[in-house]
Structure 1
Amino acid sequence: MSGSFRSSVWDPSLIISQILCVQASYYLSLGIWIVLLDLVVMTEQIETQLSLGQIYNFDSFQLKNGIGVLCAYMLNAITGGISLWYIVKRTKHCLDFTVTVHLIHFIVCCIYNSRMPSSVSWWITSIVVIVIMTVLGEFLCMRTEMKEIPLGTSGKVDL
């Protein structure tokens, strides 16, 4: 035993399953946020239709196309931080998982668009979302990790 509270054994199957779960929750919650915001915010725009382009297209981040997609990504950062808390449960891994999720999203977006993003709003949104998701995930995980560990079943301490 190393004497530490948690085991530090490298478990690739656990890491891969956590990455898949965080990625799935990222896309699921992003889709839900986009649908909700399309229904609430963008009902007056007839040309707005639900499509994968709202998730993967770099041009959907232009302010002239509406603020709905940008708001969906910001709200999804909060949802992503909560999913880090439920799935990863470790403060020191939140940044790693957040960057992994967004790197995979970046690669998928580049494949979908067949080019690199040139939009400044896409880069700024991505950086802000990474920061929000990481900080919120770390905050929630740290609060959980810092809870007192009960040592006995009763409230008395035996000396």
Structure 2
Amino acid sequence: MNAMSGHFRYTQWDPQLIISQIITIQSLFYTSLGVLIYVSDCLTGHSPQLSHIFNYQELTFKSGHGRLIILSYLVNALFGALVLWHLVQRAKPCLDFSVTTHLIHLLICWTFNGHFPSSMWWWVLNIMCVTITCVCGEYLCLKTELKSIPLTLSQKADV
């Protein structure tokens, strides 16, 4: 790569890195969501079940438990932004990783329920979560990318 090509960082297509990032982000997505929903189950006296993560009928404003599950998804979106900031470290691919995580979640929910999610609230919630994860992740990554870059390793000299 030419040193003067106009790129700040050297980037190369690395499918192995991208796939490992997707797997890690997805694993952390479900781990944190599972912990948050487990806490909401304990608070409301419900027994923990996978359906609380994958069944779109659980997402309802009609019950306190449903509202806590919705809140769990929203808090998990913020956690997802921290994961993007830590693992991806670049603002540009945050949208790709956010959408990929939720598309995989859509496919798993579809498989778990046996039919395509038809609840408007499931779609609204997941679009909100993608948006929160992406925007907050991009913000955190941009803050890191825009930090001053030291030009020397020595102590700052007064001129």
After TM superposition, the score normalised by the length of structure 2 is 0.91
- In the comparison of the two structures, how many residue pairs are matched? 153
Aligned to 2:155: 154
Which residue of the partner structure matches residue 15 of structure 1? 18
Equivalent of 2:30, from 24, 27, 48? 27
Q: SS at the partner of 2:49?
A: coil
CA RMSD of aligned residues (A): 1.4
User: 2:42 is matched with which residue: 28, 39, 42?
Assistant: 39
- CA deviation map 1:112-155 (0-9, x unaligned): 00101111110110011110000010000000000011111210
Runs of 4+ in 1 over 3 A off after TM superposition: none
Distance 1:148 1:112, change over 3 A: same
Structure 1: gaps (5+ residues): none
Cα distance in 2 between the residues matched to 1:49 and 1:121: 23
In structure 2, the residue matched to 1:89 is 89
- Once the two structures are TM-superposed, the CA of residue 30 in structure 1 deviates from its matched residue by 0.4
Identity value in percent: 41
Question: 1:62 matched to which residue of 2?
Answer: 60
Q: CA separation in 2, counterparts of 1:83 and 1:39?
A: 25
Counterpart Cα distance in 1 of 2:113 and 2:10:
42
Residue 35 of structure 1: CA displacement? 1.3
Counterpart residue identity of residue 11, structure 2:
S
Cα distance per residue 1:56-77 (max 9 Å; x no partner): 0011112224311100000000
Deviation at 1:39, TM superposition (A): 2.3
